[in-house]
Structure 1
Amino acid sequence: MDEMALRWIEGFELFGTATGAPSQSALENGLSAKWVTTVFSSAAYLQPGRVLGKSLECQGNSGVLIRRQFASTKTTWIVGFAMKGNTANSGDIMKIFNSLELETNASGQIFVKRSSSTLGSSGDAGGETFVFFDGVWHYIELKVVIDASSGSWELRVDGSLSASGTGVNTGTPASLIEFGCQRDGQFLDDIYICDGDGSANNDFLGPVFVEGLLPTSDGNSSQWTPSTGTDHFAVIDENPSDLDGTDSLTTTTQDAKETFGYGNLTGGQSAIFGVQVNTDARKTTINNQDLRNVARSGTTENEDVAVSVTDDVNFATVASVFEQDPDSLSPWTPAGVDNAEFGFKKD
């Protein structure tokens, strides 16, 4: 099996169906469970998404930060995200800690920086110079090869080269990535994060979008115990996720597995770079418990590496990206996703 390059997907689809102020509590609780490190100096709201579903909106002028910590440092990162702004402001919009960051000024220009040093800015290589604060969604991508003297970077805006640099200090290998909405009326959506590993998804993916799906039926394996009723999918199909455990599946049995059928894709995708399975879990025993996410296509299953579940009070999201259809060992097709099952197993 090839190494994985696509490490993270986020479209803010599954943090609830409400928008505006009624969405704040569920969104912030869900982000805290999934992203691990979050800073809500301003309120975070859900709003209609760039293409489908929902997006994150900053309400207030103190900022919303979400950070993802990966298990190991990498020397190559490719990060893409959609952003829209309605009000002029300056501040960080994305940061690869120990390496490069993207910052806007009050005119809407994007600067590529390493610490206090500016390496380049949007429009240096063509295209728009002033990108933000026009009330229109733009898709921003940054690729960085990290080296203290011979590093390189490339900034793309809406799929086109905007600025680049080679033979420069781009910091030290990194594992922590942050996204920031710094001002009122700033929106974030459709995030991907890739590294340089593997033979696929190790370069720019272009202006992608994310679609979220929920379980709609029990699948091939139903070996956990539902909190109520007999339909296993029915206790984990809430949007937002039930993070108090009222509706849940539980087990103490080694290798007990659950897989589920999901609703069909509706976005008309022509290419699918990966499927991310998100399982909210907490332990029910004194000892830590291991959980693996599972993808099933036809009769073939692929299990991700085990993740230790350590908290017996708060749910945390165990997330796994499956880049290939397990049955065909090729990139997913819409039909392949529609017919697949996804779930989890106690290790």
Structure 2
Amino acid sequence: MTFRFCDGFDSYSTVANLVAKWTTVASASYSATTGRFGGGAVSNSSNGLYLLLTKSVTIPIGSKVRLAMSLKYSAGTVSSGLNYGNPLLAINGQHICGFSSLGLIVVTPYSGGTPMLTSSVAVNDGNFHWIELEYYLNGASSSAKLFIDGVSQGTYTGSLGSQVAISSVSFGMGYVFSGTGWLDDAIIWDDQGSSFNTFPMGPRRISTLLPNADGDLVQFTPKTGTAHFAMVNGGYSSTNYVSDTGTGNIDLFKFPALAYTPANINLVVGYFYGQNTGSGSTSLTPKLKTGGTTISGATQTLSVGTYSVTQAPFLTDASGTTWTAAAVNAMQIGMGD
């Protein structure tokens, strides 16, 4: 599996909710209406110099890490130049990409030093731009590829740093003292495995869908009432839930249709927010139903005594067929124990 993480920033109500999906969050503001397609986005307006969202990942040594995001700066925003303590993108806490004083995207070595690749397109024009970076650490045979809005900004081959396993990825706003930036639709993937390993993908849109009806199986127990979906669509601040103390039960949920019809769909990711209220080991198995077929994702272990998010990527529909908008609009996703 080469997909690692994504966030469309549409599932939050406050900036404090970000820690449900991100490992650490620094100096971020959140708005539910300033995203690329009118949904949520993270902003640097509270303290732009130090905004940083970091996600722990497990990407093996020798991999090409791929990072993408929708990025917008208010028109005329400038930085004081590159500062290795304030990245646009970082891996393992090391600066690999920044924002220049001319509004250009700059790719740097892993351990700091002379920039190796600079975009020909400025992104400080008040519009969202789709940024994609492939970064490969392999000593003197390292490489980097940068794309903006699906257009190549160049390829670098040479020395960027020695091979390392990648344990964290960070998204920031660079060394910006004035002006506002917005971050939306962040994706992390790599070149491992046989699926979801294309680079570049080209501009992408992440749609966040919340359950709006009960599915074909409702075997857990809702906290209140009889509508199971109403207990799990309230966001990270909600105190509602469904629960189960047995085994072999399944809850499935239906979702609203996509607000648009995409030309292609790379995958569907189920995100689950829950906890083990006991003391032993408890797990849930993600479920996907399309047509008359139900399949299971990888079993997720729940944290004890605290809520946490687990993810289940489904690269195809339940029949193994490439996703279509019609299949997404009719799908049911849930969990079993």
TM-score normalized by the length of structure 2: 0.88
Amino acid in structure 1 at the alignment position of 2:73? G
- Picking from 153, 163, 178, the partner of 2:144 is 153
Unaligned runs of 5+ in 2: none
Contact map agreement 2:293 2:318 (CA 8 A) in 1: yes
1:53 Cα deviation after fit: 1.9
Contact map agreement 1:53 1:211 (CA 8 A) in 2: no
Unaligned runs of 5+ in 1: 17-25
Q: 1:263 to 1:7 in 2, by over 3 A?
A: same
1:117 Cα deviation after fit: 2.1
Equivalent runs, 1:269-288 vs 2, <5 Å: 269-288=262-281
Secondary structure in structure 1 of the residue aligned to 2:216: strand
Q: Which moved further from structure 2: 217-226 or 113-122?
A: 113-122
* 1:36 equivalenced with 2:23 (yes/no): yes
Amino acid in structure 2 at the alignment position of 1:88? V
Please give the per-residue CA displacement for 1:224-265, whole angstroms capped at 9, x wherever unaligned: 110011111111122x3344x3x1111121232211110000
Please give the per-residue CA displacement for 1:34-54, whole angstroms capped at 9, x wherever unaligned: 112222x35444442212422
- Residue equivalent to 1:296: 289
Amino acid in structure 1 at the alignment position of 2:23? V
* 1:231 equivalenced with 2:223 (yes/no): no
* 1:66 equivalenced with 2:27 (yes/no): no
Number of aligned residue pairs: give it.
Answer: 322
Between the aligned partners of 1:271 and 1:42, the Cα distance in structure 2 is 32
Q: 1:332 to 1:100 in 2, by over 3 A?
A: farther
TM-score normalized by the length of structure 1: 0.86
Between the aligned partners of 2:287 and 2:10, the Cα distance in structure 1 is 21
Between the aligned partners of 1:11 and 1:81, the Cα distance in structure 2 is 10
Computed over aligned residues only, the root mean square deviation of the Cα atoms, in angstroms, reads 2.0
Amino acid in structure 2 at the alignment position of 1:66? L
1:197 Cα deviation after fit: 2.2
Of Structure 1 and Structure 2, which has the larger fraction of its residues in strand? Answer: 1
- Residue equivalent to 1:48: 34
Runs of 4+ aligned structure 1 residues displaced above 6 Å come to: none
- Residue equivalent to 1:76: 64
Equivalent runs, 1:157-168 vs 2, <5 Å: 157-168=148-159
1:319 Cα deviation after fit: 1.4
1:29 Cα deviation after fit: 2.7
Secondary structure in structure 1 of the residue aligned to 2:329: helix
Secondary structure in structure 2 of the residue aligned to 1:331: coil
* 1:252 equivalenced with 2:252 (yes/no): no
Contact map agreement 1:93 1:103 (CA 8 A) in 2: yes
- Residue equivalent to 1:22: none
Secondary structure in structure 2 of the residue aligned to 1:32: helix
Between the aligned partners of 1:311 and 1:180, the Cα distance in structure 2 is 31
- Residue equivalent to 2:204: 208
Q: 1:170 to 1:8 in 2, by over 3 A?
A: same
Between the aligned partners of 1:54 and 1:253, the Cα distance in structure 2 is 37
Between the aligned partners of 1:234 and 1:111, the Cα distance in structure 2 is 46
Amino acid in structure 1 at the alignment position of 2:231? V
Between the aligned partners of 1:60 and 1:100, the Cα distance in structure 2 is 22
Contact map agreement 1:297 1:341 (CA 8 A) in 2: yes
1:98 Cα deviation after fit: 7.0
Contact map agreement 2:138 2:160 (CA 8 A) in 1: yes
- Residue equivalent to 1:5: 2
Contact map agreement 2:93 2:170 (CA 8 A) in 1: no
Between the aligned partners of 1:195 and 1:64, the Cα distance in structure 2 is 24
Q: Which moved further from structure 2: 145-154 or 98-107?
A: 98-107
Identity of aligned residues (%): 25
1:149 Cα deviation after fit: 2.7
Between the aligned partners of 1:42 and 1:284, the Cα distance in structure 2 is 31
Contact map agreement 1:52 1:210 (CA 8 A) in 2: no
- Residue equivalent to 2:184: 189
Contact map agreement 2:132 2:147 (CA 8 A) in 1: yes
- Residue equivalent to 2:166: 174
